[in-house]
Structure 1
Amino acid sequence: MPDRQASTDVIQRELTAFARRARQKAVQLHRELTLVAHNMLDHMHRNGSCHAADLAAHFMLDKSTVSRQIAMLEAEGMIVRETDPDDHRRQILKASEKGLDQLKEANRQRRSSFRERFTDWDDADLAQLAVYLRRYNAADVH
């Protein structure tokens, strides 16, 4: 029977290496979008729009961190702010045309990079990795 602690240690090291590689690769592939900025822009695009508090909750980030990222995205013309028609004190964030173009290009480059990385994997292994990652990320552990 496999040693659970040893397996957990390997997983922790490999996920750390994965995260480090993802950040490095993001910079290499698309300098205009940091990994965090890409993820926030993608979230806005997938949801049509959102509030800053939605981003903070979704990514489990401090509001000040989200505020800095939003300011950077806005300064770069990647997002637009609109007054929330349901609450004029709040602002809705949406990806701009420039932001959508940058996101589309970044996603194209990232898909290409992943295809290259998984060239030697068979379809069943790739599908199983997807299942495990989805299961891991869906776990609600506090």
Structure 2
Amino acid sequence: MPAHRTVAIDTIQRELTAFARRARGTAAALHPGLSLVAFSILDLIIERDGCQATDLAERYHLDKSTISRQVTALAELGYLTREVDNTNRRNNILRPTTEGKRVAREAEQVRHEVFEERLHDWSDTDVARFAEYLRRYNAG
């Protein structure tokens, strides 16, 4: 591997780590009682209009116990409900509540403002490229 590629990959790793740490801190400011993991779980449940806990574990590469704790916390806060899956009665479908959707919308607005502020001096082309690179990276 060429040296410049190794340096670039090391930089990407370092910058993504810094990004993740900043995202965790921002999540705490959005809702002190919810972690970044809980917010991301709620977002995915809303995006899919319901899903199983196994879908969450697969998407975020988390173990079942972590998902279970986060789902329980979200349910106790009234942000999601569990419904019996009619196709397999042993499974539950997690669905967002109206309150869960409201909290997620508010958090999304704040996150959008934070990103808008951080990217305010970037050109529209740079923002679009960055979005595409992140999408490609996460699709892999």
Q: TM-score, normalised by structure 1?
A: 0.93
Cα distance between partner residues in 2 of 1:97 and 1:132: 33
1:4-55 per-position Cα deviation (integer Å, ceiling 9, x unaligned): 1111111111111011011111112332432111111111111111111111
Counterpart in 2 of 1:95? 96
Tell me if 1:125 matches 2:122.
no
Say yes or no: does 1:114 pair with 2:124. Answer: no
Where 1:121 maps in the other structure, the secondary structure is: coil
Q: Does 1:134 align with 2:140?
A: no
Asked if residue 86 in structure 1 is aligned to residue 79 in structure 2, the reply is: no
In the TM superposition, 1:59-78 aligns within 5 A as 59-78=60-79
Segments of 5+ residues of structure 2 without an aligned counterpart are none
How much does 1:2 deviate?
6.7
Let me know the Cα RMSD of the aligned residues: 1.3
Q: Secondary structure at the match of 1:49?
A: coil
State how far apart, in whole Å, the 1-side matches of 2:115 and 2:90 are.
42
The alignment-based identity, stated in percent, is 47
Task: Specify every segment of 5 or more residues in structure 1 that has no aligned partner in the other structure, as ranges.
Answer: none
